[in-house]
Each structure stands twice: as structure tokens, then as C-alpha cells.
């Protein structure tokens, strides 16, 4: 479902990792898609996340690097 808003996430393996702010593009029961500038994010990486509809732990399913940003799909592992 298309949506608008902000999602914050950080590397789940490193509690001291910087918090990344991203633009939430859509959400579903099991995941979400976001646009951000973090080119070092890799498929399979787990993150802690929080947005208006959910918070918890998610795995990066895919990344698409565009000229102006990165889009990533996240699969929610627990909320």
C-alpha cells in the first residue's frame, strides 16, 4: 500500500550504528519499501526500524541504486 512518511533504521548488529532517516514509500503486512542515501546497506542485512505503523527488526530483501538515492525493500522479521 503506498504511503508517505519517515522510517528510521540502524544496523541490528551494532547498537552504536548511526540512525538513518529514510522516506517511507509503501508498507504491507510483512514489509516496507524506503528511499534513503545509505549505499552500504546490503541484501540480507538486519536492521532495527521504526515508522508510524510498526517497529521492530527487518531484513533487507533488495536494493536498487538510482542516480539520486537508494531504494530498499525490507522484510519484517519481528514487530
CATH pick for 6-78 out of 2.40.10.220, 3.30.465.10, 3.40.440.10, 3.40.1650.10: 2.40.10.220
25-63 core/surface letters (b: 16 or more CB in 10 A; e: else)? bebeeebbbbbbebeebeeebbbbbebeeebeebbbeeb
How far apart, in whole angstroms, are the C-alpha atoms of residue 65 and residue 15? Answer: 26
Higher pLDDT, 79 or 73: 73
Indicate the domain borders of the chain.
6-78
- As a whole number, mean pLDDT of residues 52-79 equals 94
Query: In the Cβ-directed half-sphere of 34, how many Cα atoms lie within 13 Å?
Result: 28
Note the pLDDT tens digit of each residue in 13-45: 998 999 999 999 999 999 999 999 999 999 999
Amino acid at each position: 500500500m503506498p504511503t508517505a512518511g519517515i522510517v528510521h533504521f540502524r544496523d541490528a548488529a551494532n547498537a552504536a550504528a548511526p540512525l538513518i532517516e529514510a522516506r517511507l514509500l509503501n508498507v504491507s503486512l510483512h514489509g516496507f519499501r524506503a528511499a534513503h542515501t545509505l549505499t552500504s546497506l546490503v541484501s540480507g542485512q538486519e536492521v532495527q526500524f521504526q515508522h508510524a505503523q510498526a517497529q521492530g527488526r527487518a531484513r533487507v530483501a533488495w536494493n536498487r541504486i538510482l542516480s539520486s538515492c537508494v531504494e530498499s525493500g525490507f522484510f519484517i522479521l519481528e514487530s
